[in-house]
């Protein structure tokens, strides 16, 4: 049924489907009391997510590595919505030093934080280590977001407590989490060049996004925090994320065009999960085409999620 809905655009139980756009799923929602951070908001679905949040009245913080592109997006949003509140802060998720600096800068602004959208990422890049000595896709897609979320979590808890408004964290994953290394996460082979596969390393990082969301959701429920954490697959969209495999993706799209979305459709699931009132209290779930779906068995493995959390904490600590 999920494949049928994807191809036809037929709405699912939520009332939305693969053909829904970010504006459609947020129609009538007032976000004027909300502050949101969107990583990777300088292009693609991150930029569209930022535009729609600003359209709905939210104070948008675009966290981006490319400041020139981020400033262009900011100006575009202001042209579309002159009353929009949009700020740009520098963030390179492949650098834990940059993540710390971003968090310090944001916290110094003394703003509330209602929503964190962990959107940025890299895809299918050649083997490379980050400045912290960690495989680049894992470092950028998972570890940077893991560290960023932890640094901002107290602010989100305080905001939710003071305002009574539920906080929401959204991790952008991918259906690519199905294609990963044996056992899901290669803890012992993370940086080994000889066994590196750009496709499986990407899948590993996207599996980590779901496991991170699930484990954080569990911990926040134990704490009684008024914050939900969910993961989403935005769909197949031709964006700058595919720059390392542009030709391959072009050929793939030629034969699978009925499965692809445009950017406004690609941002829909993120905006739905982050803003829609029907999802109040819903946490630890995975969404596809604005509807809850079951991810892989590995993505639902609680032991693996806990092991990844401990592994990630040790990696962060080892870089200090």
Q: Catalytic residue positions?
A: 196
Half-sphere exposure of 296 (CA within 13 A, CB side): 23
Cβ-proximal residues to 223 (8 Å cutoff; 6+ apart), any chain: 157
Sign of CA dihedral 272, 278, 283, 285: negative
DSSP per residue, 59-118: EEEEEES-HHHHHHHHHHHHHH-TT-EEEEEE--TT-HHHHHHHHHHHHHTT----EEEE
Element (H, E) at 37: strand 35-39
* Partners of 64 in the β-ladder: 90
Residues in the chain: 320
Structure tokens at 174: 């991918």
């Amino acid at each position: 049924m999920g494949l049928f809905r994807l191809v036809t655009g037929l709405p699912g139980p939520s009332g939305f489907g693969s053909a829904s756009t970010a504006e459609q799923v947020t129609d009538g929602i007032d976000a004027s009391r909300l502050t949101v951070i969107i990583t990777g908001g300088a292009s693609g679905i991150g930029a569209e997510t930022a535009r729609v949040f600003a359209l709905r009245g939210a104070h948008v913080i675009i966290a981006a590595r490319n400041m020139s592109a981020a400033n262009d997006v900011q100006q575009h949003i202001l042209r579309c919505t002159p009353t929009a509140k949009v700020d740009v802060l520098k963030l390179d998720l492949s650098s834990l030093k940059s993540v710390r600096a971003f968090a310090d800068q944001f916290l110094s602004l003394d703003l509330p934080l209602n929503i964190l959208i962990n959107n940025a990422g890299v895809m299918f890049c050649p083997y490379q280590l980050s400045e912290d000595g960690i495989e680049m896709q894992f470092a950028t897609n998972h570890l940077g977001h893991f560290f960023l979320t932890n640094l901002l979590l107290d602010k989100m808890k305080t905001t939710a407590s003071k305002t009574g408004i539920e906080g929401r964290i959204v991790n952008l994953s991918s259906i690519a989490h199905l294609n990963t290394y044996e056992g899901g996460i290669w803890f012992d082979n993370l940086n080994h060049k000889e066994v590196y596969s750009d496709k499986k390393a990407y899948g590993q990082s996207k599996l980590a996004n779901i496991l991170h969301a699930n484990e954080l959701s569990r911990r926040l429920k134990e704490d009684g925090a008024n914050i939900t954490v969910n993961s989403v697959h935005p769909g197949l969209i031709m964006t700058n994320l595919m720059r390392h495999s542009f030709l391959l993706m072009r050929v793939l799209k030629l034969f699978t065009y009925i499965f692809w979305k445009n950017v406004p459709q690609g941002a829909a699931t993120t905006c739905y999960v982050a803003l829609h009132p029907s999802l109040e209290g819903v946490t630890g779930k995975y969404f596809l085409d604005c509807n809850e779906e079951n991810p892989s068995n590995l993505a639902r493995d609680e032991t693996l999620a806990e092991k990844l959390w401990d592994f990630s904490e040790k990696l962060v600590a080892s870089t200090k």
